[in-house]
């Protein structure tokens, strides 16, 4: 019954958002709610930016329906929509509303950060806490202890900013997030967390519905209301319910520990590209003495535009990197849950190879961009 449940969790929000987004487009055009144009933006014309409303609404509604109906319709008592989980959804709602307000009138950075901190605290209260991480190759769990809560909040805020920075060309942030959510559904399923798998599938379906309208040439953007919510959702999906008893009956205490302490490694591995791009941007701005939140046109997608790549070709390259990173995480989960008969270090080695490969990919693009700038300056 679990495959049927996951397919339902994927298709229902997809259909709902397909129906909802045209209504959002109609209201946005009627009220002139368009994304602002500046030197960083690569789109032309007037494009609404409330796509995040559609996939957020689809995710929340379908998650609530799943929580109430799935245990009865699919005979899955292990599927748990606990009161603790509602705190996480309050956090998602708060950060979504925060982004929505920022889409209409810019919020001062300090107030925006305060709102994100409060949303992060709510998610931590909901049980989605990063307790530590597993040291690869040594299989040692490093405990964060009293710092687990604050570090989780910092992680969620950082990831939401990473997603926001990748939202620079049609279909990029939404497509990468869809792939990531699908990978998380697979990892949760391998490790026996039915609730986490269903929620991940619902998020993937909601985003897929958005992508129908966000693919090149985009009819709608996700806006800050979407990117902030996505960062918080993706940052917590592998921890959600893993610490509150939602693992199904087939899950052992060992797989529960893998989910808790391996979740950070898995999340980082799938999101290496946006996280790496964010770190590169921070270091670049520190080196230049500019504020770390100052926008520029030197993110990885901008570099590919400089190289003459079309937007669909850029999406193909970056989607492939995220997908390959994600597949290594599923392999890692299969090895550590003993579903594949192989030494644990084999799974760790594959993930390490993905980290090194993605790092080399980012450095290679940085080098190519520097060469491009030098040639441009010489020609000028």
Residue 205 contacts residue 10 (beta carbons within 8 Å): yes
Q: How far apart are CA 177 and CA 191, in angstroms?
A: 21
Residue 192 contacts residue 251 (beta carbons within 8 Å): yes
Beta bridge partners of 316: none
Look at the chain and count its residues: 380
Q: Backbone phi, then psi, for 297, in 5-degree steps?
A: -115, 45
For the packed helices 109-125 and 223-236, what is the interaxial angle rounded to 10 degrees? Answer: 30
Residues 6+ away with beta carbon under 8 Å from 71: 77, 79
Residue 164 contacts residue 228 (beta carbons within 8 Å): yes
Residues 6+ away with beta carbon under 8 Å from 45: none
Q: Backbone phi, then psi, for 293, in 5-degree steps?
A: -95, 0
Closest CA to 261 of 275, 243, 283: 243
Question: Per the structure block, which two tokens stand in for 274?
Answer: 């946006």
Sign, Cα dihedral of 187, 267, 307, 357: negative
For the packed helices 311-336 and 344-379, what is the interaxial angle rounded to 10 degrees? Answer: 160
C-alpha dihedral (314, 301, 272, 317), degrees to nearest 10 = 10
Sole residue written with tokens 């270090």: 345
Binding annotation: 164, 224
Sign, Cα dihedral of 67, 235, 295, 380: negative
Binding annotation for Mg(2+): 164, 224
Residues 6+ away with beta carbon under 8 Å from 185: 6, 196, 197, 198, 200, 201, 204
């Amino acid at each position: 019954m679990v495959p049927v449940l996951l397919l339902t969790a994927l298709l229902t929000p997809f259909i709902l958002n397909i129906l909802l987004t045209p209504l959002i487009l109609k209201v946005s055009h009627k009220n002139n709610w368009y994304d602002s144009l500046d030197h960083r933006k690569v789109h032309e014309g007037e494009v609404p930016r409330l796509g995040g409303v559609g996939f957020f609404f689809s995710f929340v509604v379908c998650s609530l329906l799943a929580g109430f109906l799935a245990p009865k319709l699919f005979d899955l008592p292990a599927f748990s929509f606990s009161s603790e989980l509602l705190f996480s959804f309050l956090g998602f709602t708060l950060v979504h509303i925060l982004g929505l307000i920022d889409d209409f009138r810019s919020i001062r950075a300090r107030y925006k950060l305060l709102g994100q901190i409060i949303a992060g605290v709510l998610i931590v209260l909901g049980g989605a806490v990063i307790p530590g991480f597993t040291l690869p190759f040594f299989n040692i769990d490093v405990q964060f202890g009293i710092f687990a809560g604050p570090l989780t909040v910092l992680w969620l805020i950082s990831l939401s900013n990473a997603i926001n920075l990748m939202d620079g060309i049609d279909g990029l942030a939404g497509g990468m997030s869809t792939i990531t959510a699908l990978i998380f559904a697979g990892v949760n399923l391998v490790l026996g967390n039915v609730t986490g798998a269903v929620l991940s599938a619902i998020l993937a379906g909601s985003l897929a519905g958005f992508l129908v309208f966000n693919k090149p040439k985009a009819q709608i953007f996700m806006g800050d209301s979407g990117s902030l919510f996505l960062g918080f959702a993706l940052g917590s999906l592998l921890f959600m319910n893993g610490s509150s008893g939602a693992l199904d009956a087939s899950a052992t205490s060992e797989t529960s520990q893998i989910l808790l302490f391996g979740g950070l490694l898995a999340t980082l591995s799938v999101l290496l590209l946006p996280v790496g791009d964010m770190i590169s941007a921070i270091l670049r701005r520190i080196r230049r003495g500019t504020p770390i939140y100052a926008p520029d046109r030197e993110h990885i997608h901008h570099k590919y535009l400089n190289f003459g790549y079309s937007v669909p070709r850029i999406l193909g390259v970056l989607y492939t990197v995220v997908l390959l990173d994600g597949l290594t995480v599923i392999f890692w989960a299969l090895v550590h849950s003993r579903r594949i008969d192989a030494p644990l270090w084999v799974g760790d080695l594959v993930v390490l190879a993905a980290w090194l490969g993605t790092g080399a990919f980012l450095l290679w693009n940085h080098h190519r961009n520097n060469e491009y700038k030098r040639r441009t300056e010489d020609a000028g």
